[in-house]
Amino acid sequence: MERRRDQRKALEKQKPADAVLFMSNIMSKMQTLLHQHPYKEHRWLKLDVDTKDPELIQQLQETLKGGNIVVAVESRGGYHVVLEKGPFCRSLYKFATAVNEGVPKEDQWITIENNEGPMLAIPGTNQGGFVVQCAIEMWKQGVK
């Protein structure tokens, strides 16, 4: 018992009262940790493709040859595609840079998102009057 009391006193001397964590700070930190993916290196890329032009889609799919499509959905204005990173990434970044060069950000038809958690429209839900549909098979066939 004596040892714990000594430890507690030592801790109290080291930290001023305002440095002690409050319950709200602990809850906030816990929620942040719960929403993070446990794997720190991002394994997936999300493509936000804002076109349904078959020629442009075919060019993009040619760039993604050999890629592993995790999920793809057709939204009102185009597609959202999540894929595993791989050897094709370099050519994908070059392709996106080339097609978006000189185009204002709001008019770019392809955006690569490399963040912690890709968020997608859920197939079957309504998005601005359009029912979101699963497009995995179409994209997997296109990148074979």
Contacts of 40 (CB under 8 A, 6+ apart): none
Q: Using one digit for the tens of pLDDT, what is the confidence trace for 73-95?
A: 999 889 999 888 888 888 999 99
Find the mean pLDDT for residues 5-11.
Answer: 69
Q: What percent of the chain has pLDDT over 90?
A: 34
User: How far is the C-alpha of 87 from the C-alpha of 113, rounded, in Å?
Assistant: 17
| DSSP annotation of 20 | S
Beta bridge partners of 73: 80, 134
Q: Using one digit for the tens of pLDDT, what is the confidence trace for 103-113?
A: 998 889 999 88
Find the mean pLDDT for residues 16-25.
Answer: 56
Find the mean pLDDT for residues 11-32.
Answer: 62
Which two three-digit tokens encode residue 84? 């595993």
Nearest to 135 by CA among 68, 70, 85: 70
